[in-house]
Structure 1
Amino acid sequence: MRTFDKPAIDVAQQIALLKTRGLQFQDEARARNFLEAVSFFRLTPYMRPFQLADDAQHGFRPGTGFRSLTRLYDFDRRLRLLAMDAIERVEVSARAAISNHMGPSRGAHWYLQASYFQRQYDHQRLLNTVREKQQRALRDYARDCQRIDRHPNGQRKSQLREQRSKESYARFYPLTYSEPELMPGWAMTEELTLGDLSHLYAGLAQDVDRKAIAKRLNLVAPLLESWLHTLTTVRNICAHHARLWNRELGIRPKLPEKPKFQWPEHLKKSGEHNRVFPVLCILNHLMRQVSPNTSWDKRLHELLADFPEVDLRAMGFPQNWQQDPFWHAPD
């Protein structure tokens, strides 16, 4: 352990520092604008692929320009947006799959019954989460009503209160119904985060429920459980605008075991599946289930074609990956 002694430096000093490390600048004005919008610290991970190995001074390989860094940064930004677009669609469909099965088969307020969950599942935490959502919505409604009471047009006050009461189901339900205390299951699933939804699915007690839900996405239950967990991790990376392109994930998603499951041959043979490539394969499969006419895979191809300099091996892509039938949508 040692004392931190690095000084904070402004953008001009940052550029000067990068120059001493061998980075070339064709347009310093554009570089300054970029560093004003994207901090030096955020850009640092995108420098490492261009720096000399085992160089304590973080020197850059000869001929490296600032544009190489910004190109890689832009690629990663667009990759995150593409991943988030698919994750959003999958998340919405997973909510629907759980709701559309559990509601009709277990009742409108099925999640209130602890017996529908495994013993290790924190059922009380789920109830507290939904209860807090409703309580927060009611507090927001009360503040809205206070502002409405100060409205000069008295005739509109009741109309405005009525409108505000329906702005979210989390406030509408407790304002309308006294029993049960908490909203029905189809509304509850919409209030949960993807992480909460992933835990809820994994915590269901009955295999018949988990299998029926997974079947709606053309999966078996162990795959859906693992993939929801994986996508929660990836979503959090993307939501915080963190580096994705060459990230080594802390988890390994479960891979299909059935021979007839359409899946890249590379992943059937390789034990390395903690990079981004398997995640993109998961999203490609799920997008074809939730949106059969999707062009998501084409957009991925176009993104990679726009950045031919990006090292796909760092993302776990095999050679000639485009030739695998998995990446060719069925007619």
Structure 2
Amino acid sequence: MSRKGYPKPWKSYEEQLDLLISRGLAVTNRAKALDYLQRIGYYRLSGYWYPFRERSGPFIFLDELGRKPAKKHRNVVKVALDEFRPGARFEDAVKLYVFDKKLRLLAMDALERIEIALRVDISHTLGEIDPVAYLHPELFHDSFSRDLNNGKGVTRHHEWLGRHARLINESKEEFVRHNKTRYGLPLVIWVACEVWDFGTMSRLFAGMRERDQDAISAKYGIHNGRTFATWLRSLNYLRNVCAHHSRLWNRNIVDQPKLPPADEVAWVTPFQDDSHLRARCYLLLRIARHLLQVVNPSSSWPGRVKAHMETFPDLTHLGLNLAGMGAPDNWETDW
């Protein structure tokens, strides 16, 4: 049964490969290409050969009266065509896919350490105030604990408590069962924090009072805790991309972090006036490196990331390089 309104028919793996070849994608080993299509899938791989496609345009969108907008307001786009650029090869897309997979694994390695350390920072800071501080709205910023969230009729704190309760209720961890049995509910925050995921943690940090945020962010060399909150939110976005095995290397980062002043954190300088660099994953990797310098200064992670980035496939014949993931000039000196 075909899906009504969807114009593209089902195709066999052979037909998928023949379609790509007809559009100009070179295939040097047909058997291997078919194997990749069967194991990874056409749709997932298409994100990696998308940059190989020819472009038409550029086109400028007109305003509602059909006029060309002023230059600074123009939305200029190039449309991807079905045909591939000369020299594009199926194996190049696979190389990009493998590079991206290893990049995501490296990102997850850093995010695990950062998440665990920040759970401790948050639970230690709030736990000193009250062992179950997370239950008390007066211990959080008004925008989190009093303001209603987008017409939902509840506060962000109320929503957060619902998420937290589900995590406690669904947890199969022995330490949760033990604490419930011996001490009952609610769990003290330094125990409860162990069930938080990155998103739960980052949302609670965003709702904390400014002085409490600042106390934690200062540990990482960031004086403004609100800026630090955007770092955690963006790292949570990065974590979700990686956890769902989504393409990372040239993804446009929707949830972009704010940057501290360059006189506070010198390495942000190249990113401040470059919207492309701020919208790519390299910035989030650099933020992770900044945090790991505090969490684990002796970590081999920065060296492993640098070594991996140096393995980026040679795609100069297609105009692709590390700039696609937002790496600034001379990025190597920063690792």
TM-score by length of 2: 0.81
Structure 1 residues 116, 56: CA separation in 2 closer, same or farther (over 3 Å shift)? closer
CA contact (8 A) 2:108 2:242 kept: yes
Q: Which residue of 2 aligns with 1:177?
A: 183
1:314 paired to 2:324 = yes
Q: Aligned match of 1:300 in 293, 305, 316?
A: 305
Q: Structure 1: which 5+ runs fail to align?
A: 141-166
Structure 1 residues 117, 270: CA separation in 2 closer, same or farther (over 3 Å shift)? same
CA contact (8 A) 1:87 1:283 kept: yes
Larger-Rg structure: 1
Following superposition, the deviation at residue 172 of structure 1 comes to 2.2
1:68 paired to 2:92 = yes
Letter in 2 for 1:294: S
Q: Aligned match of 2:290 in 282, 285, 292?
A: 285
Q: Which residue of 2 aligns with 1:23?
A: 25
Following superposition, the deviation at residue 213 of structure 1 comes to 1.6
Alignment of 1:239-250 (within 5 A): 239-250=243-254
CA contact (8 A) 2:27 2:90 kept: yes
Letter in 2 for 1:174: K
Following superposition, the deviation at residue 62 of structure 1 comes to 2.1
Q: Aligned match of 1:40 in 23, 39, 42?
A: 42
1:130 paired to 2:168 = no
Identity %: 33
CA contact (8 A) 1:134 1:171 kept: no
Letter in 2 for 1:234: L
Following superposition, the deviation at residue 260 of structure 1 comes to 4.3
Structure 1 residues 79, 134: CA separation in 2 closer, same or farther (over 3 Å shift)? closer
Q: Aligned match of 1:49 in 33, 48, 51?
A: 51
Following superposition, the deviation at residue 80 of structure 1 comes to 1.1
1:107 paired to 2:130 = yes
Q: Larger helix proportion, structure 1 or 2?
A: 1
Distance across 1 between alignment mates of 2:169 and 2:303: 44
Letter in 1 for 2:175: Y
Deviations 1:88-142 (A, max 9, x none): 1111111111112221x212222121211123322233333333334334xx7xx
CA contact (8 A) 2:250 2:325 kept: yes
Q: Which residue of 1 aligns with 2:64?
A: none
Following superposition, the deviation at residue 174 of structure 1 comes to 2.2
Following superposition, the deviation at residue 21 of structure 1 comes to 1.0
Q: Which residue of 2 aligns with 1:159?
A: none
Q: Structure 2: which 5+ runs fail to align?
A: 57-78, 145-155, 315-319
Deviations 1:275-300 (A, max 9, x none): 12211211111111111012222112
State the SS of the aligned residue for 2:96: helix
Letter in 2 for 1:293: S
CA contact (8 A) 1:277 1:317 kept: yes
Q: Which residue of 1 aligns with 2:13?
A: 11
Report how many aligned residue pairs link the two structures.
292
Structure 1 residues 187, 294: CA separation in 2 closer, same or farther (over 3 Å shift)? same
Distance across 2 between alignment mates of 1:320 and 1:308: 18
Q: Which one is further off, 264-273 or 110-119?
A: 264-273
Following superposition, the deviation at residue 259 of structure 1 comes to 0.7
Distance across 2 between alignment mates of 1:76 and 1:97: 31
Distance across 2 between alignment mates of 1:134 and 1:124: 15
CA contact (8 A) 1:97 1:216 kept: no
State the SS of the aligned residue for 1:52: strand
Letter in 1 for 2:287: I
CA contact (8 A) 1:133 1:170 kept: no
Distance across 1 between alignment mates of 2:100 and 2:331: 19
Structure 1 residues 234, 9: CA separation in 2 closer, same or farther (over 3 Å shift)? same
Deviations 1:234-265 (A, max 9, x none): 11111111111111111321112151423143
CA contact (8 A) 1:218 1:289 kept: no
Distance across 1 between alignment mates of 2:137 and 2:275: 38
Structure 1 residues 134, 259: CA separation in 2 closer, same or farther (over 3 Å shift)? closer
Distance across 2 between alignment mates of 1:90 and 1:288: 10
1:266 paired to 2:276 = no
Distance across 2 between alignment mates of 1:8 and 1:219: 52
Q: Which residue of 2 aligns with 1:237?
A: 241
TM-score by length of 1: 0.82
Letter in 2 for 1:82: L
Structure 1 residues 260, 120: CA separation in 2 closer, same or farther (over 3 Å shift)? closer
Q: Which residue of 2 aligns with 1:144?
A: none
Distance across 2 between alignment mates of 1:70 and 1:271: 29
Q: Which residue of 1 aligns with 2:221?
A: 218
Distance across 2 between alignment mates of 1:306 and 1:214: 34
1:116 paired to 2:139 = yes
